[in-house]
Homo-oligomer: A and B are copies of this chain.
Amino acid sequence: MQYFPPALEHLVEQFAKLPGVGVKSAQRLAFHVLSMPEEEANIFAQAIINAKTAIHYCPVCQNLTQGDGVCPVCSDKHRDQNIVCVVADPKDVMAMERAREYTGVYHVLHGVISPMNHVGPDDLHIKSLVERVASGGVNEVIMATNPDTEGEATAMYLARLLKPFQIRVTRLAYGIPVGSHLEYADDATLMRALEGRREL
């Protein structure tokens, strides 16, 4: 590394800080930047600064949004403001939207309760969810956290927390994924699929 000019070394270090980027990849990326036209490199640098300054959390659902005020989903008159889908991450909102089935709104927790990683309820956007429900107008809260231990625990915790408001609190269905093979389904999933079986 000490054989590169300092500005190049510095750029390599910056790239190497990114998740999943090792020193070799960081070098390849830095060399790619050097080979870019100067204008393109400026656009890249500006995009980084822009993303940091332009994007903020929607004051209602805590999803990422740009510009002033609430996000496009929360301000959409065609969406059912009475149903709130609780997800752990903005990427999960994207996954739900891809399904083109859900017409309600969201609430992004920005994480899950995880004592192992020292993440407690106060580190998540749980208080704003409770306030949202408490202020009325919400009929149903759908827990759409991941079906793993931490996602489960967070969903259970929230369900208990929202119980006093006497609204419907639901959880996404478990079962065998569409297009998969029974043969490869794990025991826990099969058990849940059996439990959740429905009349044809």
Contact = CB atoms under 8 A, between A and B. Distances in A.
Contacts of A47: 7, 10-11, 13-14
Q: How many copies does the complex hold?
A: 2
A32 interface: yes
B31 A41 contact: no
Interface in A25-83: 25, 27-34, 36, 38, 41-55, 64-67
A8 to B, nearest CB: 6
Interface stretch (A90-98, A121-129, A184-192): A90-98
Interface residues on A, range: 35 or more
Given A5-B67, A31-B91, A34-B64, 14 more contacts: A4-B90, A5-B55, A7-B50, A10-B51, A11-B50, A11-B51, A14-B48, A19-B29, A30-B51, A34-B55, A38-B53, A41-B49, A41-B52, A45-B46
